Amino acid sequence: MDANQTQQLFFNHIKTKLPLHLSFVDEMAEDLNISNDSAYRRIRGEKPITLEEMVVLCSKYRVSIDRFLQLESNAVIFSVDKVDHLSYGFNKYLEFVLSNLKFFNGLENPTIIFYFKDIPVLHFLPFAELTAFKFFFWKRTLMGYPELAKQQFYGEEADVETLEISKNIMDMYNQTPCIDIWNEESINITIKQIEFYRQSNVFASKQLLLKVYSQLEEALDHMEMQAEAGRKFNYGQTAAHNGGAKYDVYINECLIGDNTVYVQGGEKQIAFINHNGLNFMSTQDKTFCDYTYKHLQNIMRKSALISVAGEKERSMFFNTLRGKIHEKKKNI
């Protein structure tokens, strides 16, 4: 491959990282502090890009230069935002989730694959106390908000901004085609979190504890109805009232998720890898994304599809999850 082709591939790769509503030429001209005509000539390979210009673009768009220089390397470039209570607070984390969902929905025929150890909190958002519990647990236990260190959980999310962002996330999520890969262990983390706070006397009352468990059951009921329809719809309605995006659920009996999220739309691929609690690393590296997709496809081939079809397996699965909750409620 000659230098001209390599340069064109380089710019084509950067183009995949830009939101669809932005002008690629305008962005390149601004980034390199050159005219639009000069940007065009670099993009078409008519004028060689300088090393300094390449460094600028690689730094901004998190591009690994070795793949374009045909160097052998196993390095993969990830983007990372570190969640904490000081510099990257909880609402900023929620805004990150919302902005990504909006971006995914702007792709051509998008699909998100969730392969989680825990049921994604996206399924809990219609249930006020359950969502407030999850947020409280994350802020107090994972993020270490000092003002919550000795505080009990009273069942409410007091931050108006948090509530507004959460509502927007819920609306956008219902528009996003998704595939969930679950295991019977998927509910255990949430149950363990509830039990940890129960044993630590964090719940303000027994009634609130029961309310959170009851809403967890309601969330499962809603997920089961969506799986049966193969569509997302608002809680309290049916697919006939508000048929949303396509929704598939796979059950794997022997493999537990590793908190991977894979997004595909048009020619764009993104892989998200969870680390250190709420943090996610993301990459658009083609080799890594292709490998992740093949891995998830292999897991799905070895799993049972319980959305739309698979009524018996679907009923057994959700009854097993509800049974775990019933056992805990009996001991309260």
- Residue 17 burial (10 A CB sphere; 0-12, 13-18, 19+): middle
Q: Measure CA 74 to chain center.
A: 25
Host H or E run for residue 37: helix 36-43
In the chain, % helix, strand, coil (3-state, to 5) comes to: 55, 15, 35
Q: What is the pLDDT of residue 306?
A: 95
Concatenate the DSSP letters of all residues of 113-134 into one string.
EEE-SS--GGGTTT-HHHHHHH
Cβ-contact 101, 107 below 8 angstroms = no
Q: What is the pLDDT of residue 9?
A: 78
Mode of pairing for the β-strands spanning 247-251 and 260-265: unpaired
Cβ-contact 256, 187 below 8 angstroms = no
Q: What is the pLDDT of residue 10?
A: 84
Q: What is the pLDDT of residue 83?
A: 82
Domain boundaries, the chain: 3-75, 80-330
Cβ-contact 248, 305 below 8 angstroms = yes
pLDDT tens, per residue, the chain with 332 residues: 566 777 887 888 788 777 777 889 999 999 999 999 999 999 888 899 998 898 898 888 877 776 665 545 566 767 777 787 777 889 999 998 999 999 999 899 999 999 998 999 999 999 999 999 999 999 999 998 999 999 999 999 989 999 999 999 999 999 999 999 999 899 999 999 999 999 999 999 999 999 999 999 999 999 999 999 999 999 988 776 666 899 999 999 888 888 899 999 988 899 999 887 788 888 888 889 999 999 999 999 999 999 998 899 999 999 999 999 999 998 88
Q: What is the pLDDT of residue 72?
A: 53
- Residue 258 burial (10 A CB sphere; 0-12, 13-18, 19+): exposed
Amino acid at 193: Q
Question: What CATH number does the domain located at 3-75 have?
Answer: 1.10.260
**Alpha-carbon torsion 13, 16, 17, 18, what sign?**
positive
Helices 24-32 and 3-15, packing angle to 10 deg: 110
Q: What is the pLDDT of residue 67?
A: 61
Q: What is the pLDDT of residue 69?
A: 59
Which residues, other chains included, contact 94 with Cβ-Cβ below 8 Å and sequence gap of 6+? 162, 165, 166, 169
Helices 51-61 and 24-32, packing angle to 10 deg: 120
Q: What is the pLDDT of residue 267?
A: 85
